[in-house]
Amino acid sequence: MSELTEKSVARRASAVLVAGLISAVVLGAALGVVWWKLAPRVSVTVKAGETWPANYQPNEYLGADVAFGALAILGGLGLTIALIYMRREHLTSTLASSVLAGFVGTLLMWFVGTRLGSVDIAGLSATEEIVVDAPLKLTLPAMIMIWPLTAAVVISIVAAADWFAAARRRNHADDTFSI
């Protein structure tokens, strides 16, 4: 490979990485706002510095985690498909870019959502019991891996499809030229 071609390939691979990171920052922040708006909140009772759940509410904790996971899947699918469309001939750089963008996007989504959904429970000094919405949090930390895993699965499916298509073309070409 000539030096010019190597620089061109490196430049295209770095363009995929930069595009993935920029898109992940924008998409992660936007999905963080959506998560903050969609996720159900747990009601907590606050009295003189003590906090406890108002009722037994595992569905709100689960609902917030499921909303985060669903948004992470959508982010992973959308961004990875866009990166594949951008540079399908460089699936390795697309994989690296998609997985890195997945980590950046999901961490930014978590950060924005938890900051917007924060509540200063310690600042509430109530002498009588009051019920407020608890801060938004992710109770299943493994949900952070959903976006990067979605990206890896999409890239793997596309790579397998490309491999099968190339094998089929080779087999078809061998069949047409045999005597």
3-state helix, strand, coil in the chain (%, to 5): 70, 5, 20
- For the chain, what percent of residues have pLDDT higher than 90? 41
Amino acid present at 107: L
Which pLDDT value is given to residue 154? 93
Look at the chain and report how many structural domains it folds into.
Answer: 1
For residue range 46-71, what is the model confidence (pLDDT) as tens digits?
Answer: 777 677 677 776 788 889 999 999 99
- Is-contact 84 8, C-beta < 8 A? no
Residue 2, domain member (yes or no): no
Nearest by Cα to 110 from 40, 37, 32? 32
For residue 143, pLDDT beyond 90: yes
Residue 155, domain member (yes or no): yes
Indicate the pTM of the whole model.
0.82
For residue range 78-116, what is the model confidence (pLDDT) as tens digits?
Answer: 999 988 888 776 788 888 899 999 999 999 999 999 999
For residue 75, pLDDT beyond 70: yes
Average confidence (pLDDT) over 30-52: 84
Residue 179, domain member (yes or no): no
104: domain range?
10-173
- Is-contact 67 137, C-beta < 8 A? no
Residue 57, domain member (yes or no): yes
Residue 4, domain member (yes or no): no
- Is-contact 147 105, C-beta < 8 A? yes
